Chains A and B, each alone.
Chain A
Amino acid sequence: MSRFKKKQSKASAAISTASLPDIVFMLLFFFMVVTKLRQTEVKVAQSTPAITELTKLEEKSLVNFIMIGKPVQKYQAVYGTKPRLQLGDKLATEVDIPLFLEKHKSTVPESRQGRITSSLKIDGDVTMGIVEDVKTMLRKSGQLRVNYSAKKRDV
């Protein structure tokens, strides 16, 4: 037995770190791919309700986002606390919707314009009045595919 023990060297072998960059790069690429840089500042409250019947939105480029909610703390001094609409990175009103939709539409190839979806990110505490106005505006603009953005809830 002692013969075997003698052979073990006491100094711990240095672990090769040569493959560490590879591992880190792999992680890096993963995050680079899944990352979507936040181009817009969110100016209204964004706590969407949790529901069970969810559909995934397929293509990002075919989706435009309309946010409705109370302005966040920072903007309350200017815009008050009443629910507001945010289109892109600006606070807006219903009358700005047609132009906003048209701008997004021009970035989509004509053959796929029929599949454009409007995703409504609406805060749960908003009353239906403003939502109703937005929906009317969407209908008038012919944007009928609408997604009520929501979180997942089990049962």
Chain B
Amino acid sequence: MAINRAVPEINAGSMADIAFLLLIFFLVTTQISEDRGLLVKLPPWSEEPPENLQINARNVLSVLVNKDNQLLVRGKPQDLTTLRQVTKDFIANPRKEADKSVDPTKAIISLKNDRGTKYITYLNVYNELQAAYRELWDERSNIKFGKNLEFLTTAQQREIKAEIPLVLSEAESTAFGDN
């Protein structure tokens, strides 16, 4: 009884082919997810009409977008490229002008659009307003902690955001351009 003790060698040459086949399959079906976006918090729904708050007009920056995607900021036509700077000036009010917000904690941005406004315009306007706040936060945290907001601890971030709170109120949109 002679048993062949030698283990037969398995040909691994086709292993690469099999692996390649699988690899190509996954390559084709892969979509590296790009789940990124602008995170917002919607206000809770309430059936009751909002109470009439007495807000000093100088503390409100009204931003209107019409159905033709044009911008009106505080009654003046405005361009998307300058919106960020205007917003920053309004919130921080570095020269203490009488028609801009008393204090960053008092500032309110009021955004109103039409049902016919294009989403791309809306999101870009929202983006600019958010960017204005982000830049102010970064400036503030650089003064206080010497680094940008994203590198701070959660508690420090909260501290900065309490000094310059983001208050963005969205009014019910008008319906001039709805189709």
Asked if B4 is at the interface of the complex by the 8 Å CB criterion, the answer is no
Asked if B53 is at the interface of the complex by the 8 Å CB criterion, the answer is no
CB contact between B16 and one of A17, A57, A132 (< 8 Å): that residue: A17
By size class, the interface of chain B is 35 or more
B19 touches A25 (CB 8 A): yes
Q: How far is the CB of A93 from chain B (nearest CB, A)?
A: 16
B173 touches A128 (CB 8 A): yes
Contact (A35, B30) CB under 8 Å given A51-B123, A128-B117:
yes
A35 touches B127 (CB 8 A): no
Q: Which residues of B contact A31 (CB under 8 A)?
A: 23, 26-27, 30
CB contact between A129 and one of B23, B26, B32, B178 (< 8 Å): that residue: B178
CB contact between A53 and one of B19, B23, B38, B44 (< 8 Å): that residue: B38
Asked if B155 is at the interface of the complex by the 8 Å CB criterion, the answer is no
Across the interface, name the chain B residue whose C-beta is closest to A57: B35
Task: Flag the segment in B56-64, B98-106, B108-116, B139-147 that touches A.
Answer: B108-116
A55 touches B39 (CB 8 A): yes
Asked if A117 is at the interface of the complex by the 8 Å CB criterion, the answer is yes
Q: Which residues of B contact A57 (CB under 8 A)?
A: 35-37
Query: CA separation between A140 and B122, bound complex, in Å?
Result: 22
Task: Flag the segment in A4-12, A71-79, A101-109, A147-155 that touches B.
Answer: A147-155
Q: Which residues of A contact B29 (CB under 8 A)?
A: 35, 37-38
Asked if B70 is at the interface of the complex by the 8 Å CB criterion, the answer is no
Q: How far is the CB of A115 from chain B (nearest CB, A)?
A: 12
Question: In A34-87, which residues have CB < 8 Å from any B CB?
Answer: 34-38, 48-49, 51-57, 60, 63, 68
Q: How many A-B residue pairs have CB under 8 A?
A: 152
CB contact between A125 and one of B12, B20, B119, B127 (< 8 Å): that residue: B119
Q: Which residues of A contact B35 (CB under 8 A)?
A: 56-57, 60, 63, 119, 149
Q: How far is the CB of A51 from chain B (nearest CB, A)?
A: 4
CB contact between A151 and one of B22, B34, B42, B134 (< 8 Å): that residue: B34
Q: How far is the CB of B102 from chain A (nearest CB, A)?
A: 26
Q: How far is the CB of B87 from chain A (nearest CB, A)?
A: 13
Query: CA separation between A49 and B13, bound complex, in Å?
Result: 48
Which of B32, B117, B120, B134 is most buried by chain A, counting CB atoms within 10 A of its CB? Answer: B120
Asked if A146 is at the interface of the complex by the 8 Å CB criterion, the answer is yes
Given contacts A60-B33, A119-B35, A126-B119, 10 further A-B contacts (CB under 8 A): A31-B27, A35-B31, A53-B131, A131-B119, A139-B42, A144-B43, A145-B42, A149-B35, A151-B34, A151-B36
Using CB atoms and an 8 Å cutoff, list the residues of chain A in contact with chain B. 17-18, 20-21, 24-25, 27-28, 31-32, 34-38, 48-49, 51-57, 60, 63, 68, 117, 119-120, 122-129, 131-132, 135-136, 138-140, 142-152
Closest 6 CB pairs of A and B: A124-B120, A129-B115, A31-B26, A139-B45, A24-B19, A51-B127
- 22 A-B contact pairs sorted by A residue (CB < 8 Å): A21-B16, A24-B20, A25-B19, A31-B27, A34-B30, A36-B31, A51-B124, A55-B38, A57-B37, A117-B39, A119-B35, A124-B120, A124-B123, A127-B119, A127-B178, A129-B175, A135-B42, A139-B42, A144-B43, A144-B44, A145-B39, A148-B40
